[in-house]
Amino acid sequence: MEYSYPIDVDWTQEEMIQVIEFYNHIEDAYESSTNKEQFNQAYKNFKKIVPGKSDENNFYKEFKEVSGYDGYKAVKALKENNGQSTISVK
């Protein structure tokens, strides 16, 4: 699939890279699985860039519209992980 990731043009290049890495983990969680620790770190980086819950939900909504993948569900799976080393969303 080809689509554009939702980003903010005011972000630095490094911030854009970190947010895209977070989106990549969401994609991986849906398509197969993603490493729990790496996904958790990517989420922490994302939250530093997008600290507000409302903004976070807006980016999830935009990402779901273009990709079909729900960032909220992926992060929920990350938080509810029961000691597994990978995260997968079905």
CATH number for 48? 1.10.220.80
Number of domains making up the chain? 1
User: For residue 3, is it within any domain?
Assistant: no
Distances (CA, A) of 72 to 2, 43, 57, 63: 21, 11, 8, 10
User: For residue 8, is it within any domain?
Assistant: no
Give me the half-sphere count of Cα atoms (radius 13 Å) on the Cβ side of residue 63: 23
Structural tokens at position 32: 């197969």
User: For residue 30, is pLDDT > 90?
Assistant: yes
User: For residue 4, is it within any domain?
Assistant: no
User: For residue 5, is it within any domain?
Assistant: no
| Element containing residue 10 per DSSP (H, E) | none
Whether 12 and 70 have beta carbons less than 8 Å apart is answered as: no
pLDDT band at 82 (very low <50, low <70, confident <90, very high): confident
Average pLDDT of the chain, as a whole number:
96
* Structural domain containing residue 43: 13-87
